[in-house]
Amino acid sequence: MATTDFKDYYKILGVSKTANPEEIKKAYRRLARKYHPDLNPGDKAAEQNFKEINEAQEVLADPEKRAKYDQFGQYWQQAAAGTAPTGAGVGFDYSQYGSFDDFINELLGRFGGAAGRVPSGQRVYSYRSSSPGSGGFSGFEDIFSGGGFQHMPPSDTEAAITLTFSEAWNGTQKRLQLGNETINVRIPPGAKPGSRIRIKGKGQISPFNQQRGDLYLTIDLHPHILFKFEGENIVCSIPITPEEAALGTEIKVPTPDGKVSMKIPPGVNSGQSLRLRGKGWRGPKGQRSDQIVKLKIVTPKKLSPRERECYEKLRQASRFNPRHSIEEVRL
């Protein structure tokens, strides 16, 4: 990682560097409750915070890891693994390289490396990405040792694919163009926004050993005329008439796999939500989330003479005043 990406685990948990284990535990529990995904459905920021506090807890709660972190900062993992170079990396700006290949090419050129070797007994360390699509450097790796060449791991590739709701619900096959190569990809039923599919052996080719990494596809969905996602559930907006809202009724509501009957209780308001349990999106094991139905009271734009007569009689007979509670409001 670039030096600007350094994560201050003490700051993430909101404790001092002298905090004892009990203080760290209390801070973690408080923040975990606050940002837990179950309490913040669909909140990407809360999800990221939850990941970071778990990462901070894992390091600071372990005395050995914490000691390495306190001593070496952002390079504590390399130091713990015994791969961090003595005096290397400190104060060096790795962000000047656009990619890992740029960094490697400079190293090869620096050591006359057309043959990919360095003088015997010398060691060169590079940064490499620790996760697909990170776009930066996150760890030291000894790529040359004692004049011998050490193979680098293959590189994974990130890509995005956009599906219709029907394709995501039912599953589909897509043909993708990867440079000069065309591949067929099977999308299993139940894909949803943010889902990731791993395709083995279709990533970038390592320039060192010609091995290929994996391709990771992130799923996105085209907007649908009725459905949208809210966390794990799907949501739809259903129009109802004023008389249906006042008197209650039973209506047919579309779901991903067909219409179902839903009772509307009397006296509902526009914007009120009702829940169809187990009628939402399918999960990988066949389970279903819920479908949330948001009601929207729609008034007719044109009235027949008979309808107008009925509405006039209702207005004369009704004693209901929805503005009663605000009529006397003053600044």
- Using one digit for the tens of pLDDT, what is the confidence trace for 250-269? 999 999 999 999 999 999 99
Using 50, 70 and 90 to split pLDDT, how confident is the model at 106?
Answer: low
pLDDT at 329 (0 to 100)? 92
Bigger pLDDT: 303 or 128? 303
- Using one digit for the tens of pLDDT, what is the confidence trace for 224-251? 999 999 999 999 999 999 999 999 999 9
- Using one digit for the tens of pLDDT, what is the confidence trace for 72-93? 776 667 655 654 444 444 444 5
Question: Residue 280 corresponds to which amino acid?
Answer: G
Please compute the mean of the pLDDT values over residues 18-27 and round it to a whole number.
89
Please compute the mean of the pLDDT values over residues 24-36 and round it to a whole number.
88
Using 50, 70 and 90 to split pLDDT, how confident is the model at 32?
Answer: confident
CA distance linking residue 16 with residue 19, whole number of Å? 5
pLDDT at 207 (0 to 100)? 66
Residue-range domains of the chain with CATH: 1-82 (1.10.287.110), 157-221 (2.60.260.20), 228-317 (2.60.260.20)
Say if residue 326's pLDDT is above 60. Answer: yes
pLDDT at 116 (0 to 100)? 38
Q: Global pTM?
A: 0.53
Say if residue 283's pLDDT is above 70. Answer: yes
pLDDT at 176 (0 to 100)? 86
- Using one digit for the tens of pLDDT, what is the confidence trace for 113-143? 443 333 333 333 333 333 444 443 333 344 3
Chain-centroid distance, C-alpha 66: 28
For 112, 113, 162, 163, 257, the CA distances from 282, given in Å and listed in that order, are 57, 53, 18, 16, 10
Bigger pLDDT: 119 or 13? 13
Per-chain mean pLDDT for the chain = 78
- Using one digit for the tens of pLDDT, what is the confidence trace for 292-302? 999 999 999 99
pLDDT at 171 (0 to 100)? 92
Q: DSSP string covering 36-77, please?
A: -GGGSTT-HHHHHHHHHHHHHHHHHTSHHHHHHHHHHGGGHH
- Give backbone dihedrals phi and psi of 85, rounded to 5 degrees, phi first: -75, 145
Please compute the mean of the pLDDT values over residues 136-156 and round it to a whole number.
47
Question: Residue 82 corresponds to which amino acid?
Answer: G
Percent composition of the chain: helix, strand, coil (DSSP 3-state, to 5): 30, 25, 40
Say if residue 39's pLDDT is above 60. Answer: yes
